[in-house]
Structure 1
Amino acid sequence: MNDSHRPDAPQPSRRLFLGMAATVPLALSGALTLGAGTARAATGAPYVMGYFTESPNGLGANYGLHVAVSTDGLEWMPLNQNNPVVTPTEGTGGLRDPYFLRKQDGTFVVMATDLMATDFTQTNQYIHIWDSVDLRSFDNYRRLKLHDNDSYSWAPEAFWDAGRSEYAIIFSSVDSSGHSVIMVSYTTDFVTATTAVTFFDPGYAVIDGDLALDVDGVNYLYFKNSSTAKLVGAKSTSLDPGSFTVFSTAVNHGATEAPILAKSQTDDTWYLWGDSYTVNGVFYAWETSDLSLGTWTALDQKIYTQPLNSKHATIQPISQTEYDNLVTAWSTPTWNRLKSYNYPGRYWRHSSFVGRIDPYPFDPYTDSQWTIVPGLADSSGVSFQSVSYPTRYLRHSNFQLKLDVNDSTTQFAQDATFYKTAGLADSTWTSFRSYNYPTRYIRHSAFVLRIDPISTTTDQSDATFSVWY
Structure 2
Amino acid sequence: MTPPPPSTGQPGPATRRTVLRALAALPASALALGAAPGLLTTATAAAPARGYATRYTVVPFLDSSDAGVSVYQSDDATDFRLIKAAAYTPPANRVRDASVLKHTDGRYYLTYTTHTWQDTSTTIGFARSTDLVNWTFLYDYTVPIMNLSRAWAPEWFVDGDGSVNVLVSCSTTADEWTFTPYRLKAADSALTSWSAPVALSGIGANHIDTFVVRAGSTYHAFTKNETTKYIEYATAAALTGPYTFRGTGDWAGWGGTREGPALVQLDNGAWRIFFDGYGDGSYYYSDSYDTFATWSAPAKLPAVSGTVRHFTVLKETVTGGPTLPTGVTRSFRSANYTTRYWQEQSALVNLPVVGSASTTAEKQAATFTIVAGLADSGGCSFRNAAGNYLRHYDFRARFDAHDGTSTFAADATFVLRAGASSGSVRLESYNYPGRYLRHYDYQLRVDAADGTDLFRQDSSFAAVTAWA
TM over 0.5: yes
Other-structure match for 1:137: 134
Determine the C-alpha separation between the residues in 1 that align with 2:202 and 2:128: 31
Kindly provide the amino acid, as one letter, of the partner of residue 153 in structure 1. A
Structure 1 counterpart of 2:166, from 144, 169, 175: 169
Determine helix, strand or coil for the equivalent of 1:168: strand
Determine the C-alpha separation between the residues in 1 that align with 2:305 and 2:273: 17
How big is the shift at 1:275? 0.6
Other-structure match for 1:84: 86
Determine the C-alpha separation between the residues in 1 that align with 2:274 and 2:44: 13
Other-structure match for 1:275: 276
Aligned 8 A contact 2:120 2:150 in 1: yes
Structure 2 counterpart of 1:45, from 51, 54, 64: 54
Aligned CA-pair RMSD? 3.5
How big is the shift at 1:279? 3.6
Other-structure match for 1:99: 99
| Matching of residue 209 in structure 1 with residue 234 in structure 2 | no
Equivalence map 1:311-460=2 (5 Å): 311-321=309-319, 422-424=439-441, 427=444
| Pair 1:200–1:64, CA change in 2 (3 A) | farther
After superposition, give the CA deviation of every residue in 1:69-104 in whole Å (9 maximum; x if it has no partner): 111111111123xx21110112x2x21100001223
Aligned 8 A contact 1:113 1:156 in 2: yes
Determine helix, strand or coil for the equivalent of 1:192: coil
Kindly provide the amino acid, as one letter, of the partner of residue 156 in structure 2. A
Other-structure match for 1:353: none
Q: Structure 2: state its 5+ residue gaps.
A: 1-14, 21-30, 323-437, 448-452, 458-468
| Pair 1:181–1:130, CA change in 2 (3 A) | same
Aligned 8 A contact 1:146 1:193 in 2: no
Aligned 8 A contact 2:58 2:314 in 1: yes
| Pair 1:115–1:291, CA change in 2 (3 A) | same
Determine helix, strand or coil for the equivalent of 1:47: strand
How big is the shift at 1:113? 0.6
| Pair 1:138–1:224, CA change in 2 (3 A) | same
Other-structure match for 1:181: 180
Other-structure match for 1:242: 241
Determine the C-alpha separation between the residues in 2 that align with 1:221 and 1:104: 25
Determine the C-alpha separation between the residues in 1 that align with 2:271 and 2:320: 24
| Pair 1:465–1:319, CA change in 2 (3 A) | closer
Other-structure match for 2:70: 66
Kindly provide the amino acid, as one letter, of the partner of residue 424 in structure 1. D
Kindly provide the amino acid, as one letter, of the partner of residue 86 in structure 1. Y
Determine the C-alpha separation between the residues in 1 that align with 2:218 and 2:446: 39
| Pair 1:313–1:4, CA change in 2 (3 A) | same
Determine the C-alpha separation between the residues in 2 that align with 1:150 and 1:48: 32
How big is the shift at 1:134? 2.6
Other-structure match for 2:148: 150
Aligned 8 A contact 1:19 1:72 in 2: no
| Pair 1:200–1:208, CA change in 2 (3 A) | farther
Kindly provide the amino acid, as one letter, of the partner of residue 313 in structure 2. I
* Range 104-113 or range 67-76, more displaced: 104-113
Determine the C-alpha separation between the residues in 2 that align with 1:283 and 1:9: 16
Other-structure match for 1:309: 307
* Range 219-228 or range 142-151, more displaced: 142-151
Other-structure match for 1:194: 195
Kindly provide the amino acid, as one letter, of the partner of residue 58 in structure 2. M
Determine the C-alpha separation between the residues in 2 that align with 1:87 and 1:272: 27
How big is the shift at 1:194? 2.6
How big is the shift at 1:271? 1.5
How big is the shift at 1:20? 7.9
| Matching of residue 113 in structure 1 with residue 129 in structure 2 | no
Structure 1 counterpart of 2:260, from 258, 261, 276: 258
Determine the C-alpha separation between the residues in 2 that align with 1:122 and 1:52: 18
Kindly provide the amino acid, as one letter, of the partner of residue 79 in structure 1. I
Determine the C-alpha separation between the residues in 2 that align with 1:192 and 1:238: 22
| Pair 1:11–1:161, CA change in 2 (3 A) | closer
How big is the shift at 1:319? 3.5
* Range 244-253 or range 66-75, more displaced: 244-253
After superposition, give the CA deviation of every residue in 1:36-70 in whole Å (9 maximum; x if it has no partner): xxxxx99611211110101xxxxx33431110111
How big is the shift at 1:192? 2.9
Determine the C-alpha separation between the residues in 2 that align with 1:109 and 1:131: 5
Kindly provide the amino acid, as one letter, of the partner of residue 174 in structure 1. S
Alignment: residue pair count: 303
Determine helix, strand or coil for the equivalent of 1:152: strand
Determine the C-alpha separation between the residues in 2 that align with 1:317 and 1:71: 9
